[in-house]
Amino acid sequence: MLNVKAVRPELVTLLASCFLLLGFNATLWQHVFSITEFDGKGLALRVAFGLLVFCIFNIFLTLFAFRRVLKPLLTALFLISAGVAYFTNEYGVMIDAGMFRNFAETNATEVQGLLSLKLGLYLLLLGAVPSVLLWKTPINYRHWPRELLSKALVSVACVAVLGAVAMINYQGLSSMLRNHHELRLMVVPSNYIGASMGYLSEQVVSAQRPFVKIGEDAQRSPRWASHQRKSLTVLVVGESARAENFGLLGYGRDTTPQLSKENGLIAFSDVHSCGTETAVSVPCMFSNMGRKDYNASQAKNQEGLLDVLQRSGLQVIWRDNQSGCKGTCDRVTLQDVSNLQDPLLCANHECRDEILLQGLQSFIDNLDQDTVLVLHQMGSHGPEYFKRYPKAFEKFTPVCESNALNNCSRESIVNAYDNTLVYTDHVLATLIDLLRKQSRVDTAMLYLSDHGESLGEYNLFLHGTPYLLAPDQQKHVPMLAWFSDSYQKSFAVDPQCLQKERNAPLSQDNLFHSMLGLLQVDTKVYNAQLDMFAGCRGTLANE
């Protein structure tokens, strides 16, 4: 049996700090190299940055370098960091509280779609193997007084190095850190440690907040008395659809062949999301806060659009084919269709979006209340785009059939993604055609994607990049509106006016107030200035 010589904890923390800095931060170093010049100053800046991060790591580990603490801590750091490094290297993910929230609130199906052999290799080589070596290495701890003194000396030495590095290269480091805020979100493991603390703090604050009702005065306008039919307003919440690849909005490919033939369809061209991940965008778009004032803790403990609509006397139903409504539908009727056993539309614990339309005609035939129906799509959720559509809708080839997007050509990734939009086009066109056929119900459809998607631009994939750093591909989203002739008259909507205003700048901030205005709900929380339909309503009321 091999005898391994015992080592001091200072050597373990020093080696562990080097391993964390170099083994899990390939993307960070690539970025640092890209933003610094290849000269003497650039080399000095890279060394200074590395020393800065190393000393911070070493101080942190030194504080926890005690018997029964250090080895479990390092094992956890190695394993978690290996997983984070995989997603950082493969998808360009930046970790903040929002991304951690997105991870914490995902479901098993989404997690399964991210698993791969390459992830297993990361966990094995960067996580498991170093952990085994660590546990096989005995650590020779001193008695408490000397151990504490040793830790104090190491910490002081690290602080001294930090001070020296800052003094020697203060101008370069301060400029780099000031102009590149993304760096702190790329350093593993400090990024996910900080993000988890931020998320947990958010949960604690949320748990302590009282629940707030809004729009308690909500009631339907007297104009409802003139309605001759029941109404069905369908709000489709898209997933990861970006405006840049939407055929109706000028994309070079025809990804919306059926919708382009729909009469009366309005495609709004300049719409931006509230967030870059579902866990933010969906609660935000249904709240009355707006992006700038949005607070996740507050949103979790406050009513939203659906509550106000329901209070006014409308029936509100949320039909979900994804990972849930993120709290927005907690107090209305929820229909989860994501795990139905339909042999044509469902497989492997996932259903395609046509499942959202199943039984809709029968639902309309038996409609006895004015209703708002929300359909939450699986849409273009990545990275397994090829699973989001039937083979018949594979219009663009070849396609990437892997969740390891770095192993695919960009052409095949874009092809697979564009095919998801072709299928979304079919689902929406089928819905509109169904709504158009109704003779006893006023019908309308509004489609709005929750956020966009990166397909390799700037070495980013998927979504969830912090909003201030995210490219437009993750924020610029498609929005569509369609109204039946009878709906236009009952609700006094002028589609020709909307067509003229389709290029006006809008955002998900407009949804809350636009739905209240469209559905003629009177309440003090309504803001006409944020109602995108306000300027195109009323012209038909007196005809």
Structure tokens belonging to residue 102: 């997105």
> How high is the pLDDT of residue 303?
97
- Identify the CATH homologous superfamily for domain 229-536: Alkaline Phosphatase, subunit A (3.40.720.10)
CATH 3.40.720.10 placement within the chain: 229-536
- Show contacts of 405-411: CB within 8 Å, 24+ apart: 405/90, 405/91, 405/456, 405/461, 406/89, 406/90, 406/461, 407/118, 410/455, 410/456
Phi, psi of 294, deg, nearest 5 = -70, 135
List, as one string, the DSSP characters of 246-289: -GGGT-SS-S-TTGGG-TT-EEEEEEE-S-SSHHHHHHHHTSSS
What residues contact residue 333 under an 8 Å CB cut-off, 6+ apart?
Answer: 315, 316, 317, 318
Q: What is the chain's pLDDT, residue by residue, as a tens digit (543 residues)?
A: 456 789 999 999 999 999 999 999 999 999 999 999 888 889 999 999 999 999 999 999 999 999 999 999 999 999 999 999 999 999 988 988 888 887 877 777 777 778 889 999 999 999 999 999 999 999 999 998 998 999 999 999 999 999 999 898 888 888 898 889 899 999 999 999 999 999 898 888 888 899 999 999 999 999 999 999 999 999 999 999 999 999 999 999 999 999 999 999 999 999 999 999 999 999 999 999 999 999 999 999 999 999 999 999 999 999 999 988 999 999 999 999 998 989 999 987 889 999 999 999 999 999 999 999 999 999 999 999 999 999 999 999 999 999 989 889 999 999 999 999 999 999 999 999 999 999 999 999 999 999 999 999 998 999 999 999 999 999 999 999 999 999 999 999 999 999 999 999 999 999 999 999 999 999 999 999 999 999 998 744 333
> How high is the pLDDT of residue 341?
87
CA distance 251 to 262: 18
Q: Is 408 helix (H, G, I), strand (E, B) or coil?
A: coil
Which residue, 334, 196, 267, is CA-closest to 499? Answer: 267
User: Quick check: 128 and 79 in contact, CB under 8 A?
Assistant: yes
pTM of the model: 0.90
Structure tokens belonging to residue 478: 């498609």
> How high is the pLDDT of residue 541?
38
